[in-house]
Chains A and B, each alone.
Chain A
Amino acid sequence: MSDRSNDMIPRTPLGGTEPRVDTHGPVTLTEVTNTAIASFASRLGQESTAQDVLAKFLGTPVPEAGRAVFGDALGAFWTGPDQWMVTAPHTSHEDLAAQLVPLANGSASITEQNDAWCRFDLLGDGLADVFERLCPFNIRACSGGEATRTSIDHLGCFVVVADPTHIMVMGPRSSAGSLHHALMTAIRSAH
């Protein structure tokens, strides 16, 4: 591949050149673009091999149903039986999916999802008050390490709880504007 030319300037999901940051009350909403994502789905009959491959790559056991794990750089959350989303910094792992394919060696189907999702991180106190206006995921029962698929303003999203003061929302990238609007509206309503 040729060197990166200087006219291939990436845009954020919200359309800017820099991630957007909004603060209202105790909550800061940040557009996060430095995330590479690969879906990792075990092949039929090779579930335990695939699980071992992923655990070795992550350096931790794979997350159980409804859970997420976070390492220094790598992370993963459960998305269905024997399937996960694997995350890493985009700057260092833009080719995350390509890295995983040879490791899996046919035990898992891996698909690049880097730009399929927009990601917004909510940081601060009172996040449960925000999320109870967004989705049925019971944030008050979360202590960190939970992940779920839910619907926010008609958008299918992943909600991943790092800890009660740091929650990540991943939604369809093309609707980043609508999702951002929904999040900001809930933050303003709650605080």
Chain B
Amino acid sequence: MSQTNRLNGGLINRDRPMSFKFDGKSFQGYEGDTLASALLANNVRLMGRSFKYHRPRGPLTAGSEEPNAIVELRSGARKEPNTRATTAELFDGLTATSQNRWPSLAFDAMAVNDRLSTFFAAGFYYKTFMWPAAFWEKVYEPIIRKAAGLGSLSLEPDPDSYDKGFLHCDLLVIGAGPTGLMAALTAARSGAEVILADEDFALGGRLNAETFSVGDQSASGWAASLVGELSAMPNVRVMPRTTVIGAFDHGIYGAVERVSDHLPVPADGKPRQILWRIYSKQAILAAGATERPIAFEQNDRPGIMLASALRSYVNRWAATPAKRVAVFTNNDDGHRTAADLHAQGVKIAAVIDTRADGPVSRDYEVLQGAQVSDTMGRLGLTFVKVQLADGSERTLECGALGVSGGWNPNVHLASHQRGRPTWQDDIAAFVPGDALPVGMSAAGAALGHFSTHGALQSGVDVATKALDVLGITSNRPTLPEAEDAPINVTPFWHVDGAKRAWLDQQNDVTAKDVKLAHQENFTSVEHLKRYTTLGMATDQGKTSNMGGLAIMAELAGKSIPQVGTTIFRPPYTPTAIGTLAGRSRDEDFRPVRKTPSHTWAEEQGAVFVEVGMWLRAQWFPKDGETHWRQSVDREVSQTRKSVGICDVTTLGKIDVQGADAATFLNKIYCNPFAKVPVGKVRYGLMLREDGIAMDDGTAARLAEDHFVVTTTTANAVGVYRHMEFVRQCLFPDLDVQLISTTEAWAQYSVAGPNARDLLQKVVDPEHDISNEAFPYMACGEISIGGVRGRLFRISFSGELAYEIAVPTRYGDALIRKLVAAGEEFDAVVYGTEALGVMRIEKGHAAGNELNGTTTALNLGMGRMVNKKKDSIGSTLSEREGLNTEDALKLVGFKPVDPSKSVPAGAHLMTKGDKVDAAHDQGYITSACYSPNLGHHIGIGFLKSGDTRLGEIVRLVSPLTEVDHDVEVVSAHFIDPEGDRLRV
């Protein structure tokens, strides 16, 4: 059975046959087909099962508004659920599977739901699964999840990539039907930069689905020649397969270009899709209109579709769903479908026109003033029952029924910024209102001009207005001759008395469900949507919302515009999360920052840790070390015993210059900086405006008007931003300039008793770095192997220590030089773990202590907040609540039983007190094993901690079952007097 429903003609390429599979069965179609058109050509009408009742369904439409023909496209990792067969472009080897059915599409066990539909009316979830509450998570939800839902995910990583991009234009034309083509041509010939985007792969909109002519060409031929002209113009970007999904602020639009969806796999290096951000000065919404169905009894059988879709399948794709069809209409456009199908040799059973005065035909029967009262056919339409004007009934045999209830302009993008559409009586539909997104105008069918002539004219007129705004003189093209027939619609929304007349076929919402919602007082349109699920899911009610509104209006005794529409939100059509993510996924989720010693560290087999975006060496395992603690203990011990080297490039460095540089630092830091001598470094603490500690670091004075400020690695960006804010907004009258130099200098810490001896071998001999010439907290310029550098005598470890910096390009050379020079001292290179151990041993606060809740007082630095000057945060740090007698103070802790640990996060309790929040005395912030002391240690905050040294407190962590005693000690476990720093 091969393409038995394929007709002559159409815009398909019969020289390019294509094989594809649906539910495991092989079929053939042609280039230019969609999956839906190819299946219809192969006499397949049944393409899916509905969401709730698992009713058999076929395509309702021939476009992106499709609610029914939803399939899983492709297989394996590329499987994409909930894809519309009506827009899936056929390619050779395409595979598709129907979804939401078991075991097969023709026999679906869950179709039993349909028999139980009485129980599943609107709101049934809310009424049924209320009790017992405990059943929801364990019983109800898993059952509902299994039974309902759409397609299934592959659960494999998406093998394709997605780009994000940025485009700019004078005029964005959304939709390339007659309106959009004419608007683009007008603007393009006038010299504007134009982007013309359309979701279809063949541009032309309805012109590709009609048999009339435009000018002296066929409608599709005219569209093709215009696309050809536009494509050849350098100021025009023609974008097929591109859906404008959202209208955002300031003329910015989101658009998804499906670059490779029509290919078996994307070409090498090419993305599957691109999410474009289009910056437009003006935009024209030429998105056309969507035909709407009529609700009647059993109106969802495969074969029942919109009349315009039926016409599209026959004219554009030369595919008919059946050999014998009928049309049910309330307007003249339905008759065009019948005429076109008749001309193609499809038998017309009858045209059923709700109007008594509609047109008649010589070629087929027209039943005036009639309505479809019922349909038959389990897996596809076989008969329709018609109630004639005289009240009698007639049964028509047909395999397809085209339904036309009029047309709705596609106002969605016009309403993305909450502008409400307005009702237009003559077309019984909403059109874009007055409050459109800035720079947008609507044109053509999207504005309610449904004839081809009207669309062409509107395209030129609206483009001319847009060009006028841009100050471009319009070069108006001559309008080709085109049909100008009115639609003559008489509103008709649903056939009375139907038991199961489907409004929203995707969510199985019937006219009766709307009545139930009204009866239960869910009359607001937003409530109606949530209560019945009308207009939800992948199609967002493009074919159903109007029907629901009309019935609600009827019931509430209001007009449709009084009922109003729900809010339109982006995206216009479903958009893959991968498209929104773009390249920012997996290892490319964020950039990586590498230190100057990265290559060397890799050579040593370093274990890296992410700190912010930096990759820092965590420790350097040596042969025979099987546990990280062995490496870290060795690095710590050897540094304290001899000398250790650590890459500290990641610490933020901010160059502060200007005549008021010192004054500026006096504002930034709570401790004084004005009198720091040139050639000296001072430790500084920054407070937030609210008096809480923000960051700490050092400032080195390189000249009277020049400092280098260091920040913690994690806060480098935040501190720089804060300083820029202070400079630009709080003290714009100060002469101070800032720039980050974090990346410019490779900086290494050299720490330990042999630090000076090692460094002396490295720095050029003319530099005296003796204790006398270069004392503790000195800084200055230096050279290493003829390369200019900087030397700072500062220490984080508590040892005699220096930080030496060279331009980053020499960072790799310097680490190698330091390591080589250190050989005679058995120098180690240490990572962040050893760095952490040594700073805890020394009692230095870091990120764990500067945790956004602590003050200088808590940190034991209360006296640093200088009261003789005004600095940021100093006033608010005096708040009463921050200065209570029992304020938390940073102290050290050691376990009473030396074999126990002091885990960070554990809380402190006074011996004998109850263990609860009310009796909480504080908590451990940082902890480690100290190889120098031979047991675990911790630092943390304890109420009045500075007065409780020697007290035994209880350390508890109920979640990790920690409960033992620790002794309160000084936070400075090593060299509390700081003698080692100054030798």
Contact = CB atoms under 8 A, between A and B. Distances in A.
Interface of A: 1-5, 7-13, 15, 33, 39, 41, 43-45, 83, 95, 106, 109-117, 132-133, 135-138, 140-141, 153-155, 172-179, 181-182, 185-186, 188-189
Nearest to B732: A44
Contacts of A141: 168
B592 interface: yes
Nearest to A179: B591
Nearest to B708: A111
A133 B765 CA distance: 52
B10 to A, nearest CB: 34
Contacts of A186: 163
**Interface centre among B739, B764, B784, by most A CB within 10 Å?**
B739
Contact of B657 (A8, A111, A137): A111
Given A33-B809, A174-B595, 12 more contacts: A4-B787, A44-B660, A106-B659, A109-B655, A112-B741, A115-B744, A117-B743, A133-B164, A140-B168, A172-B743, A175-B593, A185-B583
Interface in B578-633: 583-584, 588, 590-596, 598-599, 613-614
B745 interface: yes
A38 to B, nearest CB: 10
Contacts of B164: 133
A44 B735 contact: yes
A5 B151 CA distance: 67
A181 B614 CA distance: 17
B812 to A, nearest CB: 4
Contacts of A175: 591-594, 613
Contacts of B592: 175, 177-178
Given A132-B165, A132-B166, A135-B166, A109 B658 contact: yes
Contacts of A136: 166, 277, 279
A13 B595 CA distance: 10
B394 interface: no
A182 B591 CA distance: 9
21 contacts: A2-B766, A5-B786, A7-B816, A8-B785, A11-B810, A11-B812, A13-B809, A39-B739, A43-B735, A44-B659, A95-B788, A109-B657, A112-B741, A116-B741, A132-B165, A132-B167, A153-B583, A153-B591, A154-B584, A175-B592, A189-B270
B737 A43 contact: yes
A153 B813 contact: no
B881 interface: no
A44 B658 contact: yes
A39 B655 CA distance: 11
B734 interface: yes
B132 interface: no
Interface in B161-210: 161, 163-168
Contact of B274 (A133, A172, A176): A133
A76 to B, nearest CB: 15
B103 interface: no
B740 interface: yes
Contact of A7 (B596, B764, B813): B813
Interface string B721-749: 00000000000011111011111111000
Contact of B599 (A1, A15, A44, A189): A15
B565 interface: no
A112 B744 contact: yes
B808 interface: yes
B71 to A, nearest CB: 28
B764 A1 contact: yes
B843 interface: no
Interface string B205-222: 000000000000000000
Contact of B658 (A12, A43, A117): A43
B807 interface: yes
Minimum-distance CB pairs A-B, first 10: A188-B269, A5-B785, A109-B657, A4-B786, A44-B735, A178-B591, A115-B808, A116-B744, A109-B737, A10-B809
B271 interface: yes
A176 B817 CA distance: 24
Contacts of B742: 116
B478 to A, nearest CB: 30
Interface size class of B (residues with CB under 8 A): 35 or more
Contacts of B733: 44
A97 B168 CA distance: 38
Contacts of B590: 154
Contacts of B831: none
Contacts of A117: 743
A79 to B, nearest CB: 9
Contacts of B167: 132
Contacts of B806: 8
Contacts of A43: 658-659, 735, 737
Given A113-B739, A154-B584, A174-B594, A8 B808 contact: no
Contact of B269 (A7, A10, A106, A189): A189
B163 A173 contact: no
Contact of A173 (B269, B613, B743): B743
Interface in B264-287: 268-271, 274, 277, 279
Interface in B782-820: 783-788, 806-814, 816-817
Contacts of A10: 809-810, 813
A11 B785 CA distance: 15
A150 to B, nearest CB: 10
A8 B269 contact: no
Contacts of A172: 593, 743
A11 B786 contact: no
Contacts of B814: 8
Contacts of A116: 740-744, 808
A14 to B, nearest CB: 10
**Interface centre among A39, A111, A112, by most B CB within 10 Å?**
A111
Nearest to B706: A109
Contact of A2 (B165, B658, B706, B764): B764
Contacts of B737: 41, 43, 83, 109
B163 A11 contact: no
A5 B810 CA distance: 12
Contacts of B788: 1, 95
**Interface centre among B163, B277, B279, by most A CB within 10 Å?**
B163
A110 B744 CA distance: 14
Nearest to B764: A2
A172 B765 CA distance: 33
Given A115-B744, A133-B274, A174-B595, A182 B658 contact: no
Nearest to B784: A8
Interface string B637-664: 0000000000001000001011110000
Contacts of A11: 596, 599, 809-813
A175 B590 CA distance: 10
B704 to A, nearest CB: 10
Contacts of A39: 739
A167 to B, nearest CB: 15
A10 B274 CA distance: 39
Contacts of B658: 43-44, 109
Contacts of B591: 153-155, 175, 178-179
Contact of A45 (B274, B735, B740, B787): B735
A83 B724 CA distance: 15
**Interface centre among B590, B655, B809, B812, by most A CB within 10 Å?**
B809
Contacts of B785: 2, 4-5, 7-8
A113 B269 contact: no
A138 B195 CA distance: 14
Contacts of A12: 809
A115 B584 CA distance: 27
A115 B739 contact: no
Contacts of A138: 166, 168, 279
A6 to B, nearest CB: 8
A106 B703 CA distance: 12
B713 to A, nearest CB: 12
Given A3-B786, A132-B167, A153 B743 contact: no
